[in-house]
Amino acid sequence: MKILVALKQVPSRDSVLRLDGEGAWIDGGDLSYEINEPDAYALEAGLQLKEQHGGETVVLCAGPEGAAAAVREALAKGADRAIHIEQDNIERLDTLALSSLLAAAAKTESPDLILTGLQSDDMGSGQTGVVMAELLGLPHGTIIMAIEKLDGAIRVKRELEDGWFQHVTLPLPAVLTIQSGINKLRYATLMGIKKAKTKELRVVTAEELGGTPASQSACTRVFLPSRSKQTQILEGDARTAAEALAGKLKYEVRVI
């Protein structure tokens, strides 16, 4: 069983974010980077399936030269080999353009199963896996909580609203977007880090895959969250003030 896991390198969650000179994206000059957390769960799901049923797990990543660090980390965790699509300014590509690059590379592998995280920590569109499935003409399932391999098919458990779940059987090959938190993530061992240095990491360019797709949309401006403080004095006795506070928390702040 060949499992292809698409992952993305994103700024670390504890990074201090500053806007670039154009105000169109964040300044990456002094940022540290890591594997997108939802994609880390997709990688873990792929590694567990390989351990249970055999085959290989191949990592696919599109990003600048520095994204090779995330790819090497995935190899150190147990992936067998990797494909790195070197593409600068990956943040300038919209979902369709990025998915087209990933789909073009996936076609050369003909995997039985493609896994992605539910969404990315930076853009959070939650669309890449679904668009890849459409471009490749494959069935797909989203918000996957569990995967069971059958003969020529898979049975998956999807998370719905209000504590409901859905069980669906899909023919292979298929594309799945994995829900975060379904497994305990593994760490790269010292032996795994050493082995990663000898594993195949194939670097390809967008031109080799047919060229960089044109984006149909663009982010023209981003804003840092505004912060403000406001103090309100609630008049009346304790009961009256408590009722007023509960109303504000429920209808204005919307935290209860």
- Asked whether the predicted pLDDT for residue 225 surpasses 80, the reply is no
Burial class (CB in 10 A: 0-12, 13-18, 19+), 237: exposed
Q: How far apart are CA 5 and CA 36, in angstroms?
A: 12
Please name which of 95, 82, 96 lies closest in space to residue 195, comparing C-alpha atoms: 82
The domain defined by 2-209 folds into Rossmann fold (3.40.50)
Residue with tokens 């009961």: 239
SS3 64: coil
- pLDDT tens-place string over residues 48-78: 999 999 999 999 999 999 999 999 999 999 9
Within the chain, which residue ranges are assigned CATH 3.40.50.620?
2-209
pTM for this prediction: 0.84
pLDDT digits (tens, 9 = 90+) for 73-108: 999 999 999 999 999 888 888 999 999 999 999 999
Q: How many CB atoms lie within 10 A of CB 20?
A: 12
Using pLDDT thresholds of 50, 70 and 90, give the confidence band for residue 130. Answer: very high
Question: Tokens 């995280």 map to which residue?
Answer: 117
Tokens representing residue 123 in the block = 């853009």
pLDDT at 125 over 90: no
**pLDDT of 29 higher than 80:** no
Checking if the pLDDT of 136 tops 90, the result is yes
